[in-house]
């Protein structure tokens, strides 16, 4: 009959060998778990227009026309309507007529040329003692006065041209220009109504890109960075998945709710996505970068 020690010894050796050979697989598993990507939790979010513009004119007056209505797509610089501008158009026409009037300059130039020629002839006659010194000085003075009159006429023409520019700017103030590419959300006034200093005329929304707002629990602070991407999933009936880029991560946390805000930019070139819809968002969380500084005591120079 075998001794029990002889049976146990080979069994222990087999177990040790099995543990040794299985060690690499355990290490590989641990390494795979360490290198596996972090979980991607979902959070509630809201998709909003990038900008909401309450469009108004810089001046007051009666609205003459509005060329757009709710839902219309507008582009930057597009004329959307105007106020009554009959007086401004008349002033512009008058300023342009004055700016084209060069007759005063031409008349002054002709008179100056005549006076210079007259002064030259007087000088020749004075040299031959046929004209007095006083007459020559008088003719010279007349020529100088004509020179100053020519300068004044030239300046008046330049002022008239500047007045054209001023009248054009005043006329532009009577028109409504779109400051963004977007859509008309609301029309607040109609032609014939009076626009005062506090009343906007149209509400516009910039729809490309859209803005995604989300509040994240503070436990995830440091795992979301500016420039990282996230997957945005609007609620029904829009649905679908869209990629947005983080543009803002709040540095001031809300202690009351235990959250911090994150803003993302969502491209919307074809304007298929609407604004003002709830969504779910999924971030690719990144590990927190912990800065560990080890303070090494310096050895004293006296040692």
| 146 in a structural domain | yes
Q: According to the model, what pLDDT value does residue 295 have? A: 39
| 237 in a structural domain | yes
CB 70 within 8 A of CB 233: no
| 168 in a structural domain | yes
Q: According to the model, what pLDDT value does residue 138 have? A: 75
| 56 in a structural domain | no
Binning the chain into helix, strand and coil, the percentages to the nearest 5 are 40, 30, 35
CB 200 within 8 A of CB 188: yes
Same domain, 219 and 153: no
Q: According to the model, what pLDDT value does residue 126 have? A: 67
Same domain, 215 and 141: no
Domain boundary among 118, 153, 173: 173
Number of domains in the chain: 2
Start-to-end C-alpha separation, the chain: 72
Q: According to the model, what pLDDT value does residue 26 have? A: 39
Same domain, 222 and 274: yes
What residue numbers bound the domain in which 210 lies? 42-50+206-283
| 155 in a structural domain | yes
Q: According to the model, what pLDDT value does residue 180 have? A: 93
Same domain, 112 and 157: yes
Contacts of 123 (CB under 8 A, 6+ apart): 136
Q: According to the model, what pLDDT value does residue 294 have? A: 40
| 232 in a structural domain | yes
The structure's pTM equals 0.66
Same domain, 151 and 211: no
Q: According to the model, what pLDDT value does residue 6 have? A: 54
Q: Is 261 exposed, middle or buried (0-12, 13-18, 19+ CB in 10 A)?
A: middle
| 182 in a structural domain | no
Domain boundary among 131, 154, 173: 173
| 124 in a structural domain | yes
Cα–Cα distances in Å, from 212 out to 15, 230, 243? Answer: 58, 10, 11
Sign of the CA dihedral running 206, 210, 211, 212: positive
Cα 266 to chain centroid distance, Å, stands at 16
Q: Three-state SS for 206?
A: strand
Task: Supply the CATH number for residue 265's domain.
Answer: 2.40.30.170
Q: Is 61 exposed, middle or buried (0-12, 13-18, 19+ CB in 10 A)?
A: middle
In a structure prediction context, what are the per-residue pLDDT tens digits for the chain, which is 303 residues long?
Answer: 445 445 445 545 554 544 444 444 434 543 444 444 455 788 999 999 999 999 998 899 999 999 999 999 999 999 999 999 999 899 999 999 988 888 888 887 788 787 777 767 766 666 666 666 777 677 777 778 888 888 888 888 899 899 999 999 999 999 999 999 999 999 999 999 998 888 899 999 999 999 999 999 999 998 999 999 999 999 988 878 999 999 999 999 999 999 999 999 999 998 889 999 999 999 987 776 654 334 344 444 444
Q: According to the model, what pLDDT value does residue 43 have? A: 92
């Amino acid at each position: 009959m075998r001794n029990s020690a002889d049976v146990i010894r080979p069994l222990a050796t087999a177990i040790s060998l099995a543990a040794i050979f299985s060690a690499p697989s355990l290490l590989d598993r641990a390494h795979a778990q360490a290198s596996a990507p972090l979980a991607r939790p979902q959070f509630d979010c809201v998709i909003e227009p990038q900008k909401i513009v309450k469009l108004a004119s810089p001046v007051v007056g009666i609205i003459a026309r509005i060329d757009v209505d709710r839902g219309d797509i507008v582009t930057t610089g597009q004329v959307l309507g105007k106020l009554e501008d009959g007086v401004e158009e008349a002033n512009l026409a008058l300023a342009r007529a004055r700016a084209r009037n060069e007759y005063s300059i031409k008349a002054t130039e002709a008179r100056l040329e005549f006076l210079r020629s007259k002064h030259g002839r007087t000088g020749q006659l004075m040299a031959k003692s046929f004209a007095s010194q006083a007459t020559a000085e008088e003719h010279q003075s007349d020529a100088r006065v004509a020179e100053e009159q020519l300068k004044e006429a030239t300046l008046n023409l330049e002022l008239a041209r500047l007045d054209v520019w001023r009248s054009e700017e005043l006329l532009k103030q009577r028109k409504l220009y779109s400051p963004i590419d977007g859509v008309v959300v609301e029309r607040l006034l109609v032609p014939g109504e009076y626009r005062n200093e506090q009343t906007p005329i149209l509400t516009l929304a910039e729809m490309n890109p859209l803005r995604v707002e989300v509040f994240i629990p503070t436990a995830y602070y440091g795992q979301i960075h500016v420039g990282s991407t996230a997957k945005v999933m609007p609620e029904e009936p829009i649905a679908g998945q869209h990629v947005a880029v983080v543009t803002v991560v709040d540095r001031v946390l809300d202690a009351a709710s235990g959250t911090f805000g994150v803003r993302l930019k969502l491209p919307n070139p074809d304007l298929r996505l609407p604004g003002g819809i709830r969504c779910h968002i999924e971030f690719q969380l990144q590990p927190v970068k912990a800065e560990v500084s080890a303070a090494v005591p310096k050895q004293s120079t006296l040692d």
